[in-house]
Amino acid sequence: MILEQILSPSIWRTGLFAFCAIAAAMTLSLPSDSALAASAVSHFKLKNGMEVVVIPDHRAPVVTHMVWYRVGAADEKRGVSGIAHFLEHLMFKGTKKIAPGEFSKIVARNGGEDNAFTGQDATSYFQRVAKDRLPLVMEMEADRMVNLRLLEKDVLTERKVILEERRSRVENDPSNILSEQMTAALYQSHPYGTPILGWEHEMRILDRKAATDFYERYYAPNNAILVVAGDVTANEVKKLAHETYGKLKPRIERVRAARPKEPPHRAPIRINLEDPRAGRATVQRSYLAPSYTSAEPGEAEALDLMVKILASGSTSQIYKRLVVEQKKAASAGGWFSGSGLDSGSLGVYAVASDGVDIADVEEALDKALADFIEKGATQKDLDRARNSYIASHIYGGDNQVRLARRYGWGLVNGRTIADIEGWPARLEKVTLEDIKRVAKKYFDPAQSVTGVLRPVEKKNVDAKKAGHEDRKS
Amino acid sequence: MQSFTTASAAWGRRIACVACLLIAFILTMGSSTTAEAKMNIQEVTSPGGIKAWLVESRQVPLIAMRFAFAGGAVHDADGKEGIAHFVSGMLDEGAGDLKSVDFQERQEELAARMSFEAGRDMFTGNFQTLTRNANEATELLHLALTKPRFDAGAVDRVKKQILTGLKFDQNDPRRVASKEWFKLAFKGHPYARPVKGTMSSVATIKREDLSDFVSKVFTRDTLKVAVVGDIDAKTLGPMLDKVFGDLPTSSKLRTIAEAKPPAGPQRKVIEMNVPQSVAVFGHGGFKRKDKDFVSSYVLNYILGGGGFNSRLTEEVREKRGLAYSVYSYLSPYRHAAIYAGNVATENKSMTRSLEVIEDELERMADKGPSAEELKNAKQYLTGSYPLRFDTSSKIASQLMWIQIEDLGIDYIDTRNSKIEAVTLQDIRRVAKRLLKADGLIVTIVGKHKGVANKPKKG
């Protein structure tokens, strides 16, 4: 099976950015890795309101230290899109104690690795270090939570960097341009429609003041969650947390405002993008769906299993039909993204086989969907899908970073430890009727955006040239 | 396999390209351990004579196995480049009595994970199973390696997928830049050929080519195996025999000539209508057994391998905001070695970015790093070592690469002292020996209006 390559430039593009790939994986069913750690996890609050989660894992003398803020791109004011992500970059620019750019260098000098990312609902910073360096990174992270100091020149240089980042991730890759357009269309009012990186024209005018405003509004211990996984005990972390984060004063009223709600969608939306760089014609369709946080009890679990059966991997119905049997698609699949605070999304896609009209592929995809909605899945399908998720727990338990992320991501999105740890048990309750019901309910054309990406060869002399050279070689 | 989740994915500040990770991996593979991270590596020999390195780890009920055969894309038949890669996509497409869908459903029922990768020199496998399913899952792996079906339908499907992937790659400036770089650097040598092949070469690959590759490469004499997890030596022995025991004893690999990239400067621009250009720059490097390899590894960390701690990131990104991503790496292959790097920047900034990079290479060759930089690099490289051993699969990978590179079973305990032993004098000498700012081979993909098509010197 060669799915990875096919899944188009977009997966490789994210593959190019190691942490982003992790983040993408995170948008899959959220709480799956908790089983092993369940009994050992501690959860408590500091007096200033900061939440703390400790996940012991004593196999290697290392720890993963993460701070999650309950703020993301969807909390930006209109017109300053990208500020949450920009601030995340600027958090490495120093404090009174730490010179610009030194943060990561200090971590590295201590044999550690650090990183950060921004999502629609969360912003997170993390370090992986030997366990005896935990006090150091806790002190540094606590320091920049309230003492960030930004120099005008650093802000302007970093703004060029985020514009290059946007060129790498979006402008150089038509499938990501399409995704961005589709997401913007899927959310007519809710800010999830605005890209995390920001719209380019708005990124160009982001400045020190916008970053500082956002920072002062949202970065505070009472809006943060500390997750420490690794070779530590809850008591050790508690003591260190009191000595570092515990000394910070809470800022008043850090709770983010409710976001605008989506109006009812009345009609399907289509987006056609022609781009000579597109490779092969691709069709994808996104549907509005609930997230784990916003769903009726059990629905998100059913959606996860439903999509696994219908569209995930080479054993899925869509793949077997479009790729194996009909041979109309070189690749086909789908996803359920249920980790958002306010909404999730559901989708399917197919990449046309050479010489097959993308309209035919879309028709076949529609037919497969319609049949699935009508007939549903078999018990064997359901058991296999469930089994596969439950196994992914156990595999996930091998990786402390994944465990830490699981808890941080869940808590920051309003889930409880019990929610996170109860996921496998809730999967067990999903029935074939549930699968059929959520498929029918959420594959609703009126709630959908269909995107078609077509390569337009003749307009692009350059792409042809590259192709020609390749054939010669 | 979730291609379209990117829209909702979060964006990291840091970047590390796939190549980087792989390289970092090879180079840090043996990296040592702190005193506290000692692990007990057992050398297991099965009743049938298959050897493996084992680390028992009982906390998680799974077994991770990595294995490698000495034979990769370099052994693809001429005109049929891409065979090794093709094989890597075919092993879970049916084996023994199980046709492709049956095989994959069975694999999913058992929650067994297996994947294969064809490199230039090696063919590697990555396998994980839950302890409770180990018997059935290893039987599937055994079938995949010894009785792949290569059914016509599956061959056609995977071929189509590879061709589609290649079609996408043609429009991906990073891939084009890299492919073109290898063409220039290794003209006339198998390393010049893309691992995934070309549209025309893959089109000609047939079932027999795949079986032929398997029979030549999947053999016991070059096999290296590493196992980590919930299993002891006594249980592992028979399992090794079951999985690998049926393989032929000796391989039939053609001899590959040694290769060396020509001295630059050389610059090739490939026109592509993208807002951001990508460049690959590089020249020859040191092989793993070179006496200066460890010094060059430390040197590269300081120059371009150390992310935010590297001079290239400092000068190109942090000071000037020219790029989101700039880095360099060392790739020691079996028959050649390179020092290379990558930068992506808006078209009009490419000239400037390459100038800055060349200046940094030159400055490093002239003066070497400061004592402070060397100290910092050593602190990171030695101190971060345990981070590479915190999951079963990561440990298994390290153990596999140590075997492939023949570094010795004690390598984990001695690696840090090798890095500590690098002196400022060594590294200055090695910088002069390695870095040739005026001898770079550079490929640039982008819109070249505004990109000066000339190297700075020469």
> Does one domain contain both A233 and A369?
no
3-class DSSP state for residue A118?
Answer: strand
In a domain, B257, yes or no: no
Q: Which residues pair with B227 in a beta bridge?
A: B54, B65
Q: How far apart are CA A297 and CA A299, in angstroms?
A: 6
Task: Give pLDDT, residue A390.
Answer: 86
A227, part of any domain: yes
* A250 class by beta-carbon count within 10 Å (0-12 exposed, 13-18 middle, 19+ buried): middle
Instruction: Determine, for residues B5 and A337 on separate chains, whether the beta-carbon distance falls below 8 Å.
Output: yes
Are B184 and B49 found together in one domain? yes
Write out the DSSP string of A431-456. Answer: -HHHHHHHHHHH--GGGEEEEEEE--
Query: What part of B 3-22 touches A (C-beta under 8 Å)?
Result: 3-18, 21
pTM across the whole model: 0.88
Query: A210 lies in which domain range?
Result: 3-247
Helix, coil or strand: residue A226: strand
Q: Are residues A239 and A282 in the same domain?
A: no
Tokens 């789908």 belong to residue:
A334
Q: Are residues A276 and A237 in the same domain?
A: no
Least reliable range by pLDDT among A12-16, B61-65, B113-117: A12-16
Quote the minimal CA–CA distance from B160 to chain A in Å. 6
- Residue B115 CA to its chain's centroid (Å): 14
Q: B236 vs chain A: nearest CA distance in angstroms?
A: 20
**Around A141, how many Cα atoms within 13 Å sit in the side-chain half-sphere?**
33
Query: Does B277 share its domain with B341?
Result: yes
Residue at A90 is within a domain? yes
Mean of pLDDT values over B42-64: 94
Is the per-residue pLDDT at B33 higher than 70?
Answer: no
* Contact criterion met (CB < 8 Å) for B160 and A354: yes
Largest Cα–Cα separation, chain B: 66
Q: Where residue A213 sits, what CATH number does that domain have?
A: 3.30.830.10
Report which secondary-structure segment, H or E, holds A64: strand A62-69
| Pair A174, A242 in one domain | yes
Minimal C-alpha gap between A462 and chain B (Å): 5
Domain termination site, one of B181, B209, B244: B244
Q: Residue A28: its chain B contacts at CB < 8 A?
A: 2, 5
Helix (H) or strand (E) holding A371: helix A358-375
CB contact under 8 A, B162 and A471: no
Q: Is B146 on the interface with A (CB under 8 A)?
A: no
Chain B contacts of A468, Cβ < 8 Å?
Answer: none
For residues A226 and A407, give the distance between their C-alpha atoms in angstroms, rounded to a whole number: 10
Q: Which residue of A11, A157, A465 is in closest CB contact with B3?
A: A11
Residues of A in contact with B161 (CB under 8 A): 2-3, 5-6, 330-331
One domain for residues A220 and A326: no
Cis peptide before A221 (omega within 30 of 0): no
A325 tagged catalytic: no
Which pair of tokens denotes residue A112?
A: 């550690």
Q: CA-to-CA distance for A32 and A16, rounded, in angstroms?
A: 25
Is B317 at the interface with chain A, CB within 8 A? yes
Same domain, B282 and B370: yes
- Residue A335 is inside which H or E element, if any? strand A329-337
Q: What is the ipTM of this complex?
A: 0.85
* Chain B residue whose CA is closest to A167: B276
At residue A266, the 3 state secondary structure works out as coil
| Separation between Cα atoms, residue B355 and residue A28, nearest integer Å | 42
Residue A253 lies in a domain: no
Residue A254 lies in a domain: no
Separation between Cα atoms, residue A196 and residue A194, nearest integer Å: 6
Residue B40 carries which side chain, given as an amino acid letter?
A: N
Q: Note whether B318 and B429 are same-domain residues.
A: yes
- Whether B309 has its CB under 8 Å from any CB of chain A: the answer is yes
Residue B13 is assigned to a structural domain of this protein? no
Which among B5, B13, B390 has the least Cβ separation from residue A335? Answer: B5
The tokens of B299 are what? 């040197």
Contact assignment for B9 to A24 by CB distance below 8 Å: yes
> What pLDDT, on a 0 to 100 scale, did the predictor assign at position A416?
93
Is A314–B104 a contact, with Cβ atoms under 8 angstroms apart? yes
CB within 8 Å: A168 and B386: no
A76, A88, A180, A421: the active-site residue: A88
Spatial CA neighbour of B387 closest among A129, A373, A192, A353: A129
| Yes or no, beta carbons of B164 and A351 under 8 Å apart | yes
CB contact at 8 A, A42 and A53: yes
Indicate if B283 and B334 belong to the same structural domain: yes
Rg (CA), chain B: 23
| Separation CA B122–CA B222 (nearest Å) | 10
Total number of domains in chain A: 2
Question: What is chain A's pLDDT, residue by residue, as a tens digit (473 residues)?
Answer: 554 333 322 222 222 232 222 223 223 233 333 334 445 899 999 999 999 999 998 888 999 999 999 999 999 999 999 999 999 999 999 999 999 999 999 999 999 999 999 999 999 999 999 999 999 999 999 999 999 999 999 999 999 999 999 999 999 999 999 999 999 999 999 999 999 999 999 999 999 999 999 999 999 999 999 999 999 999 999 999 999 999 999 987 667 889 999 999 999 999 999 999 888 999 999 999 999 999 999 999 999 999 999 999 899 999 999 999 999 999 999 999 999 999 999 999 999 999 999 999 999 999 999 999 999 999 999 999 998 988 887 888 888 899 999 999 999 998 999 999 899 899 999 999 999 999 999 999 999 999 999 998 654 444 434 333 333 32
Cβ–Cβ below 8 Å for B171 and A324: no
Final residue of a domain: which of B212, B244, B276?
B244
Measure A419 CA to nearest chain B CA, in Å: 22
Residue A256, domain member (yes or no)? no
Give the confidence band of B230 by pLDDT, cuts at 50, 70, 90: very high
Residue A279: predicted pLDDT: 86
Do A20 and B199 make contact, defined as CB atoms within 8 angstroms? no
CB A135 within 8 A of CB A197: no
Q: Do A235 and A301 reside in the same domain of the chain? A: no
**Three-state helix/strand/coil letters over chain B:** CCHHHHHHCCEECCCECHHHHHHHHHHHCCCCCCHHHCCCCEEEECCCCCEEEEEECCCCCEEEEEEEEECCHHHCCCCCCCHHHHHHHHCCCEECCEEHHHHHHHHHHHCCEEEEEECCCEEEEEEEEEHHHHHHHHHHHHHHHHCECCCHHHHHHHHHHHHHHHHHHHCCHHHHHHHHHHHHHCCCCHHHCCCCCCHHHHHCCCHHHHHHHHHHHCCHHHCEEEEEECCCHHHHHHHHHHHHCCCCCCCCCCCCCCCCCCCCCEEEEEECCCCEEEEEEEEECCCCCCCCHHHHHHHHHHHHHCHHHCHHHHHHHHCCCCCCEEEEEEEECCCCEEEEEEEEEEHHHHHHHHHHHHHHHHHHHHHCCCHHHHHHHHHHHHHCHHHHHCCHHHHHHHHHHHHHCCCCCCHHHHHHHHHHCCCHHHHHHHHHHHCCHHHCEEEEEECCCCCCCCCCCC
Instruction: Please state whether B197 falls in left (phi above 0), alpha (psi between -120 and 50) or beta.
Output: left
Q: Helices A379-396 & A432-442, crossing angle to 10 degrees?
A: 90
Q: How confident is the model over B369-391, as a mean pLDDT?
A: 93
- Does the pLDDT at position B382 exceed 90? yes
Contact A230, A35 (CB under 8 A): no
- What is the extent of the structural domain holding B205? 38-244
| Residue B2 is assigned to a structural domain of this protein | no
Note whether B272 contacts A323, CB cutoff 8 Å.
no
Same domain, B218 and B146: yes
Q: Do A279 and B10 touch (CB under 8 A)?
A: no
Q: Count CA within 13 A, CB hemisphere, residue B14.
A: 23
pLDDT value, residue B60:
84
pLDDT recorded at residue A471: 33
Surface-to-core class of residue B107, CB atoms within 10 Å of its CB (0-12 exposed, 13-18 middle, 19+ buried): buried
Chain B residue nearest residue A92, CA to CA:
B13
Q: Are residues B147 and B60 in the same domain?
A: yes
Say what the pLDDT of residue B450 is.
52
Same domain membership, residue A277 and residue A238: no
Residues B238 and B306 in one domain: no
Helix H or strand E encompassing A200 = helix A200-203
Phi-psi label, residue A404: left if phi above 0, alpha if psi -120 to 50, beta otherwise: alpha
**Domain termination residue (choose one: B244, B274, B296):** B244
Those of residues 383-422 in B touching chain A at CB distance below 8 A are 383-387, 389-393
Interface of B with A in 25-64 (CB under 8 A): 34, 36-37, 57, 59-62, 64
Q: Please, which pLDDT band fits residue B1 given cuts at 50, 70 and 90?
A: very low
> Are A242 and A322 within one domain?
no
Give the closest-approach CA distance of A243 to chain B in angstroms: 25
Are A115 and A57 in a shared domain?
yes
pLDDT exceeds 70 at position B298: yes
* C-alpha–C-alpha distance, residues B456 and B442, integer Å: 12
Which DSSP symbol is given to A148? Answer: B
Q: Which residue of B has its CA nearest to A336?
A: B5
Please give the order of strands across the beta sheet that includes A329-337.
Answer: A269-274, A448-454, A282-289, A344-352, A329-337
What pLDDT was estimated at residue B425?
97
A198, A217, A247 — which closes off a domain?
A247
Q: Are residues A143 and A277 in the same domain?
A: no
Per-residue pLDDT, A2: 55
Q: Which residue of A has its CA nearest to B228?
A: A398
Chain B residues with CB under 8 Å of A462 CB are 271-273
Structure tokens, B186: 């290794």
Distance of residue A139 Cα from the nearest chain B Cα, in angstroms:
19
Domain of B134, CATH number, reads 3.30.830.10
What pLDDT was estimated at residue A36? 42
Q: Is the pLDDT of residue B128 over 80?
A: yes
A34 shares a domain with A138 = yes
| Same-domain status, B149 and B71 | yes
Cβ contact, residue pair A1, B92, below 8 Å? yes
Cα distance between residue A267 and residue B436, in whole Å: 61
Q: Count up the domains in chain B and report the number.
A: 2
> Distance between CA atoms of B298 and B368, rounded to whole angstroms?
12
Four-residue CA torsion sign, A192, A197, A199, A204? positive
CA atoms of B20 and A377, how far apart (whole Å): 42
Nearest to A196 among B11, B167, B193 (CB): B11
Verify that A274 and A235 share a domain, yes or no: no
Kindly state whether residue A259 falls inside one of the protein's structural domains. Answer: no
